[in-house]
Chain A
Amino acid sequence: MLTSDEVKQDFPIFETLGDGYAYLDNAATTQKPRSVLDAIHNFYTSQNSNVYRGIYRLSEDATDSYHKARRNIAEFIGSGNPDSLIFTRNATESLNLVASSLGKGLRPGDEVLISIMEHHSNIVPWQLWLPAGVKLKYADIDSEGHLDMESFQENLTGRTKIVSLVHESNLLGTINNAMEIGRIAHDNGAVFILDGAQSVPHMPVDVERLGCDFLAFSGHKMLGPMGIGCLYGRMDILEKMPPFLGGGEMIREVYRDHSVWNDVPQKFEAGTPNVAGAIGLSAAVDYLRSYGMENVRSHEKRLMKKTFDLEQEAGIPELISYGPRELENRGGIYSFNIGKIAPMDLESQILEESSLKIGSAVHPHDVASSLDGDKIAVRSGHHCAMPLTHRLGVVATSRASYYIYNSESDVENLFQAIANVAVKYHER
């Protein structure tokens, strides 16, 4: 069992923030343990030099560390082949890479199937192909926030070439059955892409077991530094794909009128890579592994159970929360509202009766500001999932998201603070 108080001691920022500060915005980014900070510091103080082709020891050492980081992270997600792991800036860039490159093979009328619970990074890169005649289709969710399998099947057609799905929703916390979706996608002859930005940091993820063709994730959401992310891809597909960005490292030979691409993964890593970032992420992987991803997952399940229990007990008027209630399909993400404020756009009229007189609803921005006053960091807004937020019929939500250093007392403080907000703003 994982003890969050002990974990916390490995994170220098909590010394700075002081006792009682509840950092509950882990779906946005996570804090960094000392071992990650040290790994980055060590690279810059003892190995800093550019990787590849340096015919001197320092550069060879840097290259070696970069390779080791790649192998370590590939193993962490269950890939035996380090070349299948491409370093990017973040999950967003990983999804852009695969959308940009695979998209070039799509023909007018071809379809990409995603879900309504996607992050913008798994929507917008596909929208860029709409002018080319590619169709973007959305599988819906059911009333509890699970992927609606009927809707998924209805939207899957003979023209579906790509199925790209979020593994764990960053708003609902829904954990999708990637294995089943992957099987259906493959039976349909489609490529299956998994957005693992919220799953890889929080649960065991094994690309071989899941059977996904691609997996995108970010380093900074799993205790690693910002500016480093990964795209795992199946080697046979990666080898056939055209490059994403052009420049140094990604070529073998350059002539006046053409170039010869380098091998995978370098083919997809134009320019000097983020070596320190890769090394920092590798240290984060070691840190997570020392606890075990099964234990990380059970810890967050415990926090979610506490969340649901307190939600029941607290009886806060008009508190609404979203996403599946069964812990097996639910990550450590809790999105909520106090009352419901419907979305609007410029076309819709503001009605006198529907505006300020929104009952006792409290705007999520007010919720987050008030919680901040109680030393609780949550996010409020659309969480880069506007289509989902609007599908839920609200303008925004507030979101608490947990990680290994959060404790049950953080959850208690959260509900105490939510109760305070409700009182403060309900007075009118």
Chain B
Amino acid sequence: MSDEEINMEILLDHYRSPRNYGKIEKPSVELVEYNPVCGDAVQFTLKIENGILTDVKFIGRGCSVSQGAASMLTERVKGKSTEEVMNIGPQEILSNIGLNLGPSREKCALLSLNALQKSVRKYRDGEK
């Protein structure tokens, strides 16, 4: 198996059996992000305590890239500080997926990062 094939299998595994799938009861913040072009959507619920993302869950629908990437992202950020979440760049997500996606599908891959970072901003705005 080539690296590309292995990475595809990892993504499909996240797609078929998403991690941290569902909704947190009484979350600190929740947010839906949606791409009208393809209909991909994710909803994040976050539990934030003392600047730490103690729990994160998502539900969503869409292609393997958007949903697989969301699942991978939840594993990456659980237990991390909101500061660290805000510092994740798109390139990290793309290299983590490790597939040659092309510009149109990179949007699918980055939908969940946008949603998550928007959620954190929404939480911080609410705190002020």
Residues of A participating in the B interface, judged by any CB pair closer than 8 Å: 341, 343-346, 350-352, 354-356, 358, 363-366, 369, 381-382, 395-396, 424-425, 427-428
Instruction: Provide the B45-87 mask, 1 if CB < 8 A to any CB of A, else 0.
Output: 0000000000000011111110100000000000000000000
B36 at the interface (CB under 8 A from A): yes
What 5 pairs across the A-B complex have the smallest Cβ distances?
A428-B16, A395-B39, A363-B63, A355-B61, A365-B63
Q: How far is the CA of A396 from the CA of B104 in the complex (A)?
A: 15
Residues of chain B with a CB closer than 8 A to A428's CB: 12, 15-17
B43 at the interface (CB under 8 A from A): yes
Closest Cβ neighbor of B13 among chain A residues: A428
Q: Are B34 and A345 in contact (CB under 8 A)?
A: yes
Contact of A395 among B16, B21, B38 (CB under 8 A): B38
CB of B10, distance to nearest CB on chain A (Å):
14
CB of B69, distance to nearest CB on chain A (Å):
13
Q: Are A344 and B39 in contact (CB under 8 A)?
A: yes
Q: How far is the CA of A381 from the CA of B39 in the complex (A)?
A: 9
Residues of chain B with a CB closer than 8 A to A351's CB: 59
Contact of A344 among B17, B22, B61, B63 (CB under 8 A): B61
Residues of chain A with a CB closer than 8 A to B15's CB: 428
Q: Are A352 and B34 in contact (CB under 8 A)?
A: no
Number of A-B contacts (CB under 8 A): 69
Q: Are B105 and A369 in contact (CB under 8 A)?
A: yes
Q: Are A381 and B38 in contact (CB under 8 A)?
A: yes
Q: How far is the CA of A68 from the CA of B37 in the complex (A)?
A: 41
Q: How far is the CA of A344 from the CA of B105 in the complex (A)?
A: 19
Q: How far is the CA of A345 from the CA of B32 in the complex (A)?
A: 10
Q: Are A350 and B65 in contact (CB under 8 A)?
A: no
Interface residues on B, range: 20 to 34
CB of A420, distance to nearest CB on chain B (Å):
13
B97 at the interface (CB under 8 A from A): no
Q: Are B59 and A341 in contact (CB under 8 A)?
A: no
Q: Are A363 and B41 in contact (CB under 8 A)?
A: no
Q: Are A365 and B61 in contact (CB under 8 A)?
A: no
Q: How far is the CA of A356 from the CA of B42 in the complex (A)?
A: 10
Residues of chain B with a CB closer than 8 A to A341's CB: 39, 61
With contacts A345-B36, A365-B108, A395-B39 taken as known, whether A356 is within 8 angstroms of B67 at the C-beta atoms is yes
Q: How far is the CA of A27 from the CA of B22 in the complex (A)?
A: 40
Give 19 new A-B contacts, CB below 8 A, not counting A344-B39, A346-B34. A344-B61, A345-B36, A346-B32, A350-B41, A350-B42, A351-B59, A352-B21, A355-B41, A355-B59, A355-B61, A356-B61, A363-B40, A364-B63, A365-B63, A365-B65, A365-B108, A366-B64, A395-B38, A427-B12
Closest Cβ neighbor of A354 among chain B residues: B61
Q: Are B63 and A352 in contact (CB under 8 A)?
A: no
Q: Are A350 and B61 in contact (CB under 8 A)?
A: yes
Residues of B participating in the A interface, judged by any CB pair closer than 8 Å: 12, 15-18, 21-23, 32, 34, 36-43, 59-65, 67, 105, 108
Contact of B41 among A344, A396, A424, A425 (CB under 8 A): A344
Contact of B59 among A356, A365, A395, A424 (CB under 8 A): A356
Q: How far is the CA of A354 from the CA of B61 in the complex (A)?
A: 8
CB of A376, distance to nearest CB on chain B (Å):
15
Q: How far is the CA of A363 from the CA of B65 in the complex (A)?
A: 10
CB of B90, distance to nearest CB on chain A (Å):
18
Residues of chain B with a CB closer than 8 A to A381's CB: 37-38
Contact of B21 among A356, A363, A365 (CB under 8 A): A356
Q: Which of A345, A363, A366: most chain B CB closer than 10 A?
A: A363
Q: How far is the CA of A382 from the CA of B40 in the complex (A)?
A: 13
Residues of chain A with a CB closer than 8 A to B43's CB: 350
CB of B40, distance to nearest CB on chain A (Å):
8
Q: Are A344 and B59 in contact (CB under 8 A)?
A: no
Q: Which of B15, B17, B63, B65: most chain A CB closer than 10 A?
A: B63
Q: Are B64 and A363 in contact (CB under 8 A)?
A: yes
A-B contact pairs, 19 of them (CB 8 A): A344-B39, A344-B41, A345-B34, A345-B36, A346-B34, A352-B22, A354-B61, A355-B41, A356-B18, A358-B61, A363-B62, A365-B63, A369-B105, A395-B38, A396-B38, A396-B39, A428-B12, A428-B15, A428-B17
Residues of chain A with a CB closer than 8 A to B41's CB: 344, 350, 355
Q: Are B34 and A344 in contact (CB under 8 A)?
A: yes
Closest Cβ neighbor of A372 among chain B residues: B102
CB of B78, distance to nearest CB on chain A (Å):
19
CB of B39, distance to nearest CB on chain A (Å):
3
Q: Are A365 and B67 in contact (CB under 8 A)?
A: no
Residues of chain B with a CB closer than 8 A to A364's CB: 38, 63
Residues of chain B with a CB closer than 8 A to A382's CB: 37
Q: How far is the CA of A316 from the CA of B62 in the complex (A)?
A: 21
Q: How far is the CA of A402 from the CA of B21 in the complex (A)?
A: 41
Q: How far is the CA of A344 from the CA of B23 in the complex (A)?
A: 19
Residues of chain B with a CB closer than 8 A to A355's CB: 41, 59-61
CB of B57, distance to nearest CB on chain A (Å):
10
Q: How far is the CA of A428 from the CA of B18 in the complex (A)?
A: 11
Q: Which of B12, B41, B61: most chain A CB closer than 10 A?
A: B61
Q: Are A365 and B105 in contact (CB under 8 A)?
A: yes
Q: Are B17 and A350 in contact (CB under 8 A)?
A: no
